[in-house]
Amino acid sequence: MDLTGKVALVTGSSRGIGAGIIRGLAAHGAICVVNYVADAAGRNLADAQSVAHDSGAGLVVEADVSNHARVGAAMEEITARLGGIDILVNNAGILRDRTIRKMTPDDFHAVVQVNLGGAFNTLQHATSLLRPGGRIVNIASVAGFMGFFGQANYASAKAGLVALTKVAAREFARQRITVNCVAPGFVETEIIKEMPAEVTARFLEQIPLGRIGRIEDVVNAVCFLCAPQSDYVTGQTIHVNGGFYM
């Protein structure tokens, strides 16, 4: 899977799965751009710089994906500095779990704005900025297919992301740009590590392959969808969940 010289932007890549995707794409030769959101303490910038340093990424850009204008400015900056964008991975995501009874409209809208609106923002700018033959991969979730308790906002946003992917696959096809989803199940990130042992054990019982996913499991699927080998795959979702949902 040779990605030599391809410029790849991964949103929300200062940590977790996004940082893993940066490392994976860089290992296949891509020139990667790490994206983070500024915080007062500067921690996210430090994390992003550390990911860029470890992977040899070409650039670090600040942008809140829910801010349409800021996303456009960041993508223009990447184009000006690196010559163009070939790969866009919409990975940025947040959770604000509550039952529907307790969820505030703000909890609902904030999650939809980042997880779904963020992808719309990058996609819209990509219509003029992504080079022909490029790749777009949206990170959805098993939650968008199963609708977990307490995740009305997140599950709706991720289900919407799958539909957005299909529309974009049709609209970007004339530029030979493919658009696909990867839908992870439970992946070993900070969130999962903080779950009580009994909750993890309960989920494990329902995963035929008998283990929680690793970040590399998701990264491998993303790299395939970014590689020349997936040239005839578009509008699809690859489920990476050990058989938890099938």
Report the 10 Å Cβ neighbour count for 116: 26
232 catalytic per annotation: no
C-alpha angle with apex 164: 95 to 80, nearest 5 degrees? 85
Question: Is residue 44 a contact point for ligand NAP (CB under 6 A)?
Answer: yes
Residues of 1-40 as b/e, b for ≥16 C-beta within 10 angstroms?
bebeebbbbbbbbbbbbbbbbbbbbbeeebbbbbbbbeee
How many residues bind ligand NAP (CB under 6 A)? The answer is 28
Encoded tokens for 96: 């604000």
Kindly give, in sequence order, each residue whose CB lies less than 8 Å from that of residue 234, ignoring residues fewer than 6 positions away.
169, 173, 178, 179, 180
Among 14, 151, 156, 178, binds ligand NAP (CB under 6 A): 14
Encoded tokens for 194: 């903080």
The smaller minimum CB distance to ligand NAP, of residues 198 and 232, is found at 198
Question: Is residue 7 a contact point for ligand NAP (CB under 6 A)?
Answer: no
**Residues numbered 186-205 forming contacts with ligand NAP, rule: CB under 6 A:** 186-187, 189-192
Question: Is residue 139 a contact point for ligand NAP (CB under 6 A)?
Answer: yes
Q: Which stretch binds ligand NAP (CB under 6 A): 64-72, 126-134, 165-173, 220-228?
A: 64-72
Catalytic-labelled residue, pool 36, 154, 232, 245: 154
Q: Which residues bind ligand NAP (CB under 6 A)?
A: 11-12, 14-18, 35-37, 44, 64-66, 91-94, 114, 139, 141, 184, 186-187, 189-192
Which sequence positions are flagged as catalytic? 154
